[in-house]
Amino acid sequence: MFALQYSRFGPSDVLTVGEAAEPHAGRGEIRIAVRAAGVAPADWKLRAGRPPGRAPLNWPHIPGVDAAGIVDQIGDGVTGVAIGEAVFGLVDIAKLGGASAEFAVLKAWAAKPDALSWEQAGGAATSVETATRALTVLGVTAGTTLLIEGAGGGVGTGTVQLAVARGATVIGTASPRNHEFLAGLGATPTTYGSGLVERVAALAPHGVDAVLDAAGSGSLPDLVAVAGDAARVLSVADLNAHQHGVRLSYTGSGDEPGYAGLAVAAALAAEGRFTVPLHAVFPLKDGAKAHDLSATGHARGKVVLTVP
């Protein structure tokens, strides 16, 4: 099969499209013919060699965790899905094959709703899983007031919508150019940076129940001040969260995975209550451009690759 891949850590120009070993669905897995794959910050950070303590990669490495496509193999023990069905989900990145390829093996998935394009579905799963996991850890339910730092990014936009669907009141930080966009998703927007504590106090005079850091921009001291207690703050983006007494949640951190959120998001999308904002879409051959754009940190929504 063909795949976007790299055989050494480095800048985006280490990425090439070439032949790679074809993956096959194991027990509890399905394989899809990929139509679209998401590009997340974790992809370019791993490619650049940044994550500390990560197990060695098998070379060549195929990046990407999010994918959408057509089911063409079903592993043992799998029920409720059929060959030829359109789905979206996540790969197990610890294995050889990632999502940016002709074929990908999914460890968690849901049926793709017609309301989401291939590109939207291809960029959805990681954000939905992370958002669901975070909302569960923070105990967000109807009546909760939630502040999301970095609400305009891929994880942030997904969390806004899923939190609103739970009946929460959401305040989201973003640059002024994204405020109207966030309001359209159901959040009350505000700017990030100096004066955040005072701005949030004006918007939520009765206080904030929970805070999610989806930006990792070094704002945790202010976020703890907003919450009044570090135990009510969760980061999914700041590796130094523990220095501020804040819990860091990530895949493998021991928190319950948010896979159940995939079906929830799909159902909400079918009702017109969930969407996946796209910042940019590139063909697979332009994977380096997609990684570079994601690395700027200024993408509003998802960066996605289409697979021919």
Residue 46 in domain? yes
What is the band of 56 on the pLDDT scale with cuts at 50, 70, 90?
confident
Question: In this predicted structure, what is the pLDDT of residue 8?
Answer: 93
Whose tokens are 């909760």? That residue is 144
Q: Do 181 and 241 fall into the same domain?
A: yes
Contacts of residue 164, defined as CB under 8 A and 6 or more positions apart, other chains included, come to 170, 185, 186, 187
Q: Do 102 and 148 fall into the same domain?
A: no
pLDDT of residue 94 exceeding 80, the answer is no
Q: Do 300 and 232 fall into the same domain?
A: no
Residue 264 in domain? no
Buried b (16+ CB within 10 A) or exposed e, 251-275: beeebebbbbbbebbbebbeeeebb
Average pLDDT over residues 262-266: 98
Residue 48 in domain? yes
Q: Do 193 and 280 fall into the same domain?
A: no
Question: In this predicted structure, what is the pLDDT of residue 208?
Answer: 98
DSSP 8-class letter at 96: S
Question: In this predicted structure, what is the pLDDT of residue 181?
Answer: 93
Half-sphere exposure of 13 (CA within 13 A, CB side): 0
Residue 164 in domain? yes
Q: Do 11 and 107 fall into the same domain?
A: yes
Question: In this predicted structure, what is the pLDDT of residue 226?
Answer: 97
Residue 99 in domain? yes
Residue 224 in domain? yes
Q: For residue 22, what is the domain's CATH number?
A: 3.90.180.10
Segment of 88-97, 143-152, 243-252 carrying the highest mean pLDDT: 143-152
Q: Which two tokens stand for residue 88?
A: 């979206």
Q: Do 96 and 160 fall into the same domain?
A: no
Q: Do 117 and 154 fall into the same domain?
A: no
Q: Do 61 and 13 fall into the same domain?
A: yes
Contacts of residue 57, defined as CB under 8 A and 6 or more positions apart, other chains included, come to 46
Q: Do 217 and 289 fall into the same domain?
A: no
What is the band of 96 on the pLDDT scale with cuts at 50, 70, 90?
low
Q: For residue 178, what is the domain's CATH number?
A: 3.40.50.720
Q: Do 136 and 225 fall into the same domain?
A: yes
Average pLDDT over residues 224-229: 97
pLDDT of residue 93 exceeding 80, the answer is no
Residue 110 in domain? yes
- Reported as a single tens digit per residue, the pLDDT across 174-196 is 999 999 999 999 999 999 999 99
Question: In this predicted structure, what is the pLDDT of residue 200?
Answer: 97
Q: Which two tokens stand for residue 210?
A: 């929970």
Q: Do 141 and 71 fall into the same domain?
A: no
Distances (CA, A) of 114 to 120, 132, 263: 11, 22, 13
The 3-state DSSP class for residue 203 equals helix
Question: In this predicted structure, what is the pLDDT of residue 54?
Answer: 64
Question: In this predicted structure, what is the pLDDT of residue 213?
Answer: 98
Number of separate domains in the chain: 2
Whose tokens are 């394989």? That residue is 31
Last residue of a domain, one of 248, 263, 297: 248
Q: Do 213 and 173 fall into the same domain?
A: yes
Residue 49 in domain? yes
Average pLDDT over residues 112-127: 97
pLDDT of residue 71 exceeding 70, the answer is yes
Instruction: Classify burial at 202, counting beta carbons within 10 Å of its beta carbon; exposed 0-12, middle 13-18, buried 19 or more.
Output: exposed
pLDDT of residue 86 exceeding 80, the answer is yes
Name the phi and psi angles at 306, rounded to 5. Answer: -95, 145
Say if residues 221 and 213 touch (Cβ distance below 8 Å).
no
Average pLDDT over residues 293-301: 83
Instruction: Classify burial at 18, counting beta carbons within 10 Å of its beta carbon; exposed 0-12, middle 13-18, buried 19 or more.
Output: exposed
Average pLDDT over residues 270-292: 96
Average pLDDT over residues 267-287: 96
Question: In this predicted structure, what is the pLDDT of residue 53?
Answer: 56
- Reported as a single tens digit per residue, the pLDDT across 124-179 is 999 999 999 999 999 999 999 999 999 998 899 999 999 999 999 999 999 999 99
Whose tokens are 């130094």? That residue is 240
Domain that holds residue 241: 128-248
List, in sequence order, every residue forming a beta bridge with 104; answer none if it has no partner. 32
